[in-house]
Copies of this chain bind each other. A is one copy, B any other.
Amino acid sequence: MDFTLSEEQQLFRDALAKFVQNEYAFEARRKIVASAQGWSGEVWARLAAMGALAVPFAEADGGLGGSGVDLMVVMQELGRGIAVEPYLATVVLGGGAVAAAGSPAQRQALLPGLIAGERQLALAYAEPGARHDLHDVQASARREGAGYVLSGRKATVLNGATADTLVVSARTAGARRDAQGVTLFLVARGAQGVSLSDYRTIDGLRAADLVLDGVRLGADAVLGPVDGGLAPLERAVDLGAAALCAEAVGVIEQLNALTLDYLRTRRQFGQPIGRFQALQHRAVDMLVHAEQVKSIVCLAASAAQSADERERRRAVSAAKSLVGRSGRAVAKEATQLHGGMGVTLELPAAHYAKRLTMIDFWLGDSDWHTERFAAASA
């Protein structure tokens, strides 16, 4: 039983922390978010140079063979700066799906470029009306000759518009909510029949809605087993959820620090407002949330790539469930304790609180993961 980071992990964390602190200050972030692309190519190149993009991939694929814990280290630091670069989308979700299900040729075609920072991915699994259910797939892939023809709609595809390649789930067999019959496909963003609408999300990211209208794909576009795509999809999304939870740790810790700073410096009635006991006790509860989340996120990071499906589901869903509940609670309290300024975009707190709240809306919300945890714990 050991909770300490290795020396290597600590060095990597410190380097990332310094990078985020220097390059991702409040004003810098504001500009990046407001840019046309919505994230910074320069920051991305630096992350590539630091090796951050290589973390979760096998050495055979040009990666560092990092663990869930290594990924946690990266995401926590990105969270501390509420960085908007598509690390989650490209490295963890898209990259994770390719790593989990790809043939050697597919991995070779995609991952080295990704690791070098030259290629962006996205995972298009969600459908309107499916809420968080991965198996609720209506998009269809019809066999035609050796290949397939894809049609359907995918919603809130994180990083959809800047991804070169989309990993798309579609139904090759079965009825709408069947677990069997889902297949993953690699689709070039520019392929004929693909239309993408890019938009901002309320937490400062970019996502896209995707309409597939008779997109023709060769047999080599199939990622992993035909009809058996749900398992690798779930693996990738679980890794993504664990990573997102790690990001939340960084966000919570930074938001708590900002709030404490405000409590110590803001004066009302002749003293710092942090002297008022009612506010003190609430600040303590924010710390309790932070510590609990930090702990469960370690567990999720450790189990995120476990071969034991039940262990993986249980740990990841426990973390995502708690992050959803605690994250919202911390965001609300941080806002309230900041008073009037807490609801303006003038201070960083509001930006952290928005991201923290909306983390519950990506990759399964608290209710969804709580039920999934219950099922895995029965």
Please give the residue numbers on chain A whose beta carbons come within 8 Å of chain B beta carbons, in ascending order.
Answer: 276-278, 280-281
Q: For the complex, what is the distance from the CA of A119 to the CA of B18, rounded to whole Å? A: 82
Q: For the complex, what is the distance from the CA of A280 to the CA of B276, rounded to whole Å? A: 12
In the complex, how many angstroms separate the beta carbon of A268 from the nearest chain B beta carbon? 13
In the complex, how many angstroms separate the beta carbon of A269 from the nearest chain B beta carbon? 11
List 5 A-B pairs, minimum CB-CB distance, nearest first: A277-B278, A277-B277, A278-B281, A278-B278, A276-B277
Protomer copies: 2
User: Please, which residue of chain B has its CB at the minimum distance from the CB of A280?
Assistant: B278
Chain A binding site: helix, strand, loop or mixed by DSSP?
helix
Q: For the complex, what is the distance from the CA of A278 to the CA of B284, rounded to whole Å? A: 12
6 A-B residue pairs with CB within 8 Å: A276-B277, A277-B277, A277-B278, A278-B278, A278-B280, A278-B281
- Residues of chain B lying within 8 A (CB to CB) of residue A281: 278
- Residues of chain B lying within 8 A (CB to CB) of residue A280: 278
- Residues of chain B lying within 8 A (CB to CB) of residue A278: 277-278, 280-281
Q: For the complex, what is the distance from the CA of A276 to the CA of B280, rounded to whole Å? A: 12
In the complex, how many angstroms separate the beta carbon of A240 from the nearest chain B beta carbon? 34
Q: For the complex, what is the distance from the CA of A281 to the CA of B336, rounded to whole Å? A: 15
Q: For the complex, what is the distance from the CA of A281 to the CA of B285, rounded to whole Å? A: 15
User: Please, which residue of chain B has its CB at the minimum distance from the CB of A275?
Assistant: B277
User: Please, which residue of chain B has its CB at the minimum distance from the CB of A276?
Assistant: B277
In the complex, how many angstroms separate the beta carbon of A323 from the nearest chain B beta carbon? 26
- Residues of chain B lying within 8 A (CB to CB) of residue A276: 277
In the complex, how many angstroms separate the beta carbon of A334 from the nearest chain B beta carbon? 18
Q: For the complex, what is the distance from the CA of A31 to the CA of B280, rounded to whole Å? A: 44
User: Please, which residue of chain B has its CB at the minimum distance from the CB of A281?
Assistant: B278
In the complex, how many angstroms separate the beta carbon of A284 from the nearest chain B beta carbon? 10
Q: For the complex, what is the distance from the CA of A280 to the CA of B279, rounded to whole Å? A: 12
- Residues of chain B lying within 8 A (CB to CB) of residue A277: 276-278
Q: For the complex, what is the distance from the CA of A14 to the CA of B277, rounded to whole Å? A: 40
In the complex, how many angstroms separate the beta carbon of A333 from the nearest chain B beta carbon? 13
In the complex, how many angstroms separate the beta carbon of A76 from the nearest chain B beta carbon? 31
Q: For the complex, what is the distance from the CA of A281 to the CA of B278, rounded to whole Å? A: 7
User: Please, which residue of chain B has its CB at the minimum distance from the CB of A279?
Assistant: B277
In the complex, how many angstroms separate the beta carbon of A222 from the nearest chain B beta carbon? 46
Q: For the complex, what is the distance from the CA of A197 to the CA of B281, rounded to whole Å? A: 49
Q: For the complex, what is the distance from the CA of A363 to the CA of B333, rounded to whole Å? A: 37
User: Please, which residue of chain B has its CB at the minimum distance from the CB of A282?
Assistant: B278
Q: Which of A276, A278, A280 has most B Cβ within 10 Å?
A: A278
Q: For the complex, what is the distance from the CA of A299 to the CA of B161, rounded to whole Å? A: 55
In the complex, how many angstroms separate the beta carbon of A287 from the nearest chain B beta carbon? 15
Q: For the complex, what is the distance from the CA of A276 to the CA of B281, rounded to whole Å? A: 11
In the complex, how many angstroms separate the beta carbon of A332 from the nearest chain B beta carbon? 16
In the complex, how many angstroms separate the beta carbon of A236 from the nearest chain B beta carbon? 37
In the complex, how many angstroms separate the beta carbon of A279 from the nearest chain B beta carbon? 8
In the complex, how many angstroms separate the beta carbon of A349 from the nearest chain B beta carbon? 22
In the complex, how many angstroms separate the beta carbon of A278 from the nearest chain B beta carbon? 4
Q: For the complex, what is the distance from the CA of A281 to the CA of B281, rounded to whole Å? A: 11
Q: For the complex, what is the distance from the CA of A45 to the CA of B318, rounded to whole Å? A: 58
Q: For the complex, what is the distance from the CA of A276 to the CA of B275, rounded to whole Å? A: 11
